[in-house]
Amino acid sequence: MTKPLRIALTKGRLEKDTVELFERLGFDCTAVREKGRRLILPISDGNIEVVLAKANDVITYVEHGVCDMGVVGKDTIMEMQGKFFEMVDLGFGKCRFALAAKKGTDFYSGFGVKQIATKYPSVARRFFESKGMDVDIVKIEGSVELAPLLGLADGIVDIVETGVTLKENGLEVVETVMPISARLIANTVSLKMRQQEIETLIGKIEEVLEK
Ligand code: PRP
């Protein structure tokens, strides 16, 4: 048997949806479901090996070719960019990037340079550049909603899924930046060297997604 196709999966929310997708393809994901603390796991009848990694690292591993493919959110792709192919919109992990601010404030009023807190500085920078608006960007690692509440920022650029986190913290969406969902990506060399296997897998995935 040829060496397995190695696929990096973003741990957490996307992991669960990806495993469900693989099971719909008829793959046996028992090893992933019973993984314990193991990070590299076989999908027994699919000739696939799954690598569990943080979102940014999924891109790093695919870019460097140590993983042939990856499942990662469009949010991470937009922030990291890089040299790989985006193959399929998997349709799960749906949310959006949004600009949000304290409820009842007029974010665009006034002439001072706005402070923006975000986990996604590149996305935020491009968004405000597209508006021709000069802003100061502060990188925050998590719970970005805190920044306007603590007075560190006028607004945030962050992921909004249900909107509950914003609502419960007295914030509201000012503007949607872009929709997000999980994507299947491929290493550029793997796509040439293992074209048939990758195309077969993508064909199966697309068939299941259409159902
Ligand atoms: C994400 C995001 C928001 C929240 C939005 O955070 O950064 O905080 O989810 O979800 P909601 O609209 O459904 O409330 P995550 O849970 O990934 O944690 P983090 O803020 O620590 O990164």
Element (H, E) at 102: strand 95-102
Pairing of strands 95-102, 5-10: unpaired
Q: What is the pLDDT of residues 30-55, one digit of tens each?
A: 999 999 999 999 997 778 999 999 99
Ligand 1 surroundings by CB, under 6 angstroms: 142-145, 158-165
Which residue's CA is minimally distant from atom 17 of ligand 1?
Answer: 142
Distance 58 CA to ligand 1 centre (A): 19
**pTM score:** 0.94
Atom of ligand 1 nearest to the CA of 160: 12
- Say how many Å lie between the first and final Cα of the chain, rounded: 31
Question: Please, are residues 39 and 164 in contact by the beta-carbon 8 Å criterion?
Answer: no
Q: What is the pLDDT of residues 122-146, one digit of tens each?
A: 999 999 999 999 999 999 999 999 9
For residues 196 and 194, give the distance between their C-alpha atoms in angstroms, rounded to a whole number: 6
